[in-house]
């Protein structure tokens, strides 16, 4: 698991996927609470914190293409304006900063007093698949939750048929804790997945 040091400018995420080859992502966290702040850059792709309402239509259009059900603009604004430092946008600087992907989520205290991160939506432009953008933005989201909010865990739901997503999250340490029947508008079932940062002995997979 990654070691987070708030005294350093950079956080080194070392091999979140313990079963795969080791990779290091150096995330610039010095001013990572700011909007439109560059957290990471690789292969001409820029990973920034949410940069304001001017991009919300592009975000919604991408999500409509990739997600199985629509969300109103109020849902987007709830996450984006409430936790801008957790909502990571990806741009291709070689193509006039074309918007190519994002992750949307939050982190707050649950009823049991734990700081819980939540991944609500994630999408990557089809043209940019295979460039590890999805993996990178999830890792950055994990880092931001831990560094900025001292999160105890992160949770999400994904369709049981979404093998790519299940493999992605499973490789990053997320565990399937529950199946949710007819969870989506299309009546597909979902898995609830969790990633814990505390000792395995303190986990409660039935929460």
Query: Residue 157 in contact with residue 192, Cβ under 8 Å?
Result: yes
Q: Which pLDDT tens digit goes with each residue over 7-25?
A: 333 333 433 443 334 356 7
Centre a 10 Å sphere on the Cβ of residue 80 and count the other Cβ atoms it contains: 24
Domain boundaries, the chain: 10-155
Cα angle vertex 107, ends 102, 112, to 5°?
150
Q: Would you call 78 exposed, middle or buried from its count of C-beta atoms within 10 A (0-12, 13-18, 19+)?
A: middle
- Whether 93 shows a pLDDT value over 90: the answer reads yes
Q: Over range 102-110, report the average pLDDT.
A: 97
Helix/strand/coil (H/E/C) assignment for every residue in 152-177? CEEEEEEECCCHHHHHHHHHCCCEEE
Q: Which pLDDT tens digit goes with each residue over 178-187?
A: 999 999 988 9
Residue 15 three-state SS: coil
- Whether 136 shows a pLDDT value over 90: the answer reads yes
Q: Over range 160-181, report the average pLDDT.
A: 96
Q: Over range 113-137, report the average pLDDT.
A: 96
What is the overall mean pLDDT for the chain?
85
What architecture is domain 10-155?
Answer: 3-Layer(aba) Sandwich (3.40)
> What is the percent of the chain with per-residue pLDDT over 90, rounded to a whole number?
74
Q: Which pLDDT tens digit goes with each residue over 150-163?
A: 999 999 999 999 99
Q: Over range 35-46, report the average pLDDT.
A: 93
At 171, the pLDDT band (50, 70, 90 cuts) reads very high
pLDDT at 82: 96
């Amino acid at each position: 698991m990654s070691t987070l040091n708030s005294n350093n400018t950079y956080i080194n995420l070392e091999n979140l996927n313990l079963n795969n080859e080791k990779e290091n992502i150096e995330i610039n966290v010095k001013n990572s609470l700011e909007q439109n702040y560059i957290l990471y850059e690789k292969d001409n792709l820029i990973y920034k914190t949410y940069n304001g309402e001017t991009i919300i239509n592009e975000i919604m259009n991408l999500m409509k293409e990739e997600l199985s059900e629509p969300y109103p603009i109020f849902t987007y604004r709830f996450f984006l304006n409430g936790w801008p430092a957790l909502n990571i946008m990806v741009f291709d600087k070689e193509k006039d900063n074309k918007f190519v992907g994002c992750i949307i989520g939050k982190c707050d205290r649950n009823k049991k007093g734990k700081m819980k991160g939540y991944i609500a939506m994630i999408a990557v432009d089809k043209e940019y698949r295979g460039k590890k953008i999805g993996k990178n933005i999830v890792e950055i989201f994990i880092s931001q939750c831990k560094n900025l909010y001292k999160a105890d865990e992160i949770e999400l739901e994904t369709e049981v048929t979404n093998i790519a997503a299940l493999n992605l999250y499973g490789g990053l340490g997320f565990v399937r804790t529950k199946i949710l029947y007819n969870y989506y508008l299309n009546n597909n079932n979902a898995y609830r997945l969790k990633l814990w940062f505390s000792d395995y002995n303190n986990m409660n997979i039935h929460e």
